[in-house]
């Protein structure tokens, strides 16, 4: 699957990493060149500098042959313009757009070329599932068919787990930490890894509920 992602913030970067790891053809567009420099060397992802709300940039990014476009910038107006261009001018079959401000949610529909409107608070795995229309895009998503849940929790300054190593977290039975995403990059979840505000923890469990996971970390 050929995927174009507009916006290399934390969300766009995480989506790019997951989809590229699943062997999709991923292009990540970002107008902040300093941000792109931070991501230089990102494995299996094509990085492109420019404003995705400009038709010329979208053309250079290969939008005309993309299967999916995900507008994940932090500005709703940009996401709407990108979605409209992708659908109307380039004929992208599936367009997903992030809704940053809930009051703008009513705009995100087919009138603006948006097939899937994704609220900002949507968990990463659910977002990818909704955006791509494929529940088996990544191996983690297929776990649900075997009765295994993938649960994501974000660490904030107020979280009880902030500043503590993973080895000290009392996890519910049948639960393991799959990865800790920090600054848009997944890290190996060893017991010595100290959790920091801004980290996103991805866990796999066949017993625990989201509430139990929340209680352990928050």
Tens digits of pLDDT across the chain (218 residues): 899 999 998 888 888 877 876 678 999 999 999 999 988 877 789 999 999 999 999 999 999 999 999 999 999 999 999 999 999 999 999 999 999 999 999 999 999 999 989 888 776 656 676 666 654 444 444 444 445 566 778 888 999 999 999 999 998 887 878 778 887 677 777 889 899 998 888 887 777 777 888 888 98
Q: Given this model, what pLDDT does residue 77 score?
A: 96
d(CA 78, CA 171): 40
- Structure-block tokens of residue 10: 């934390």
Question: Which residues have a Cβ under 8 Å from the Cβ of 94 and sit 6 or more positions away?
Answer: 67, 68, 69, 115, 116, 131, 132, 133
Residue 185 backbone class (left: φ over 0; alpha: ψ -120 to 50; beta: rest): beta
Q: How many CA atoms lie less than 13 Å away from 37 in the CB half-sphere?
A: 3
Q: Given this model, what pLDDT does residue 43 score?
A: 73
Q: Given this model, what pLDDT does residue 138 score?
A: 44
Give pTM, 2 decimals: 0.64
Q: Given this model, what pLDDT does residue 146 score?
A: 46
Burial group, residue 121, by CB count within 10 angstroms (0-12, 13-18, 19+): exposed
The backbone torsions φ and ψ at residue 135, rounded to the nearest 5 degrees and listed phi first, read -75, -10
- Structure-block tokens of residue 200: 């996103």
What's the longest Cα–Cα distance across the chain? 53
Domain residue ranges of the chain, discontinuous segments joined by +: 2-138, 147-217
Q: Given this model, what pLDDT does residue 54 score?
A: 96
Asked if the 147-217 domain carries CATH number 2.60.320.10, the reply is no
Q: Given this model, what pLDDT does residue 14 score?
A: 80
Start-to-end Cα distance in the chain: 36
Q: Given this model, what pLDDT does residue 1 score?
A: 85
d(CA 32, CA 51): 9
Are 172 and 213 a contacting pair, CB within 8 Å? yes
Give the architecture-level CATH label for domain 2-138. Answer: 3-Layer(aba) Sandwich (3.40)
């Amino acid at each position: 699957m050929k995927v174009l992602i507009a916006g290399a913030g934390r969300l766009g970067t995480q989506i790019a990493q997951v989809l590229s790891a699943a062997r999709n053809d991923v292009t990540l567009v970002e107008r902040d060149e300093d941000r792109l420099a931070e991501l230089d060397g990102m494995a299996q992802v094509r990085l492109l500098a420019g404003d995705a709300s400009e038709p010329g940039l979208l053309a250079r990014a290969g939008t005309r042959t993309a299967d999916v476009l995900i507008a994940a910038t932090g500005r709703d107006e940009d996401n709407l313009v990108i979605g409209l261009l992708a659908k109307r001018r380039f004929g992208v079959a599936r367009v997903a757009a992030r809704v940053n401000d809930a009051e703008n949610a009513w705009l995100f529909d087919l009138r603006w070329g948006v097939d899937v409107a994704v609220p900002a608070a949507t968990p990463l795995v659910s977002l990818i599932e909704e955006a791509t229309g494929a529940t088996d895009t990544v191996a983690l998503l297929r776990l649900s068919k075997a009765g295994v849940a993938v649960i994501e929790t974000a660490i904030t300054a107020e979280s009880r787990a902030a500043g503590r190593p993973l080895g000290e977290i009392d996890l519910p039975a049948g639960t393991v930490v799959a990865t800790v995403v920090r600054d848009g990059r997944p890290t190996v979840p060893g017991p010595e890894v100290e959790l920091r505000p801004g980290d996103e923890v991805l866990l796999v469990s066949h017993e625990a509920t989201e509430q139990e996971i929340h209680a352990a970390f928050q």
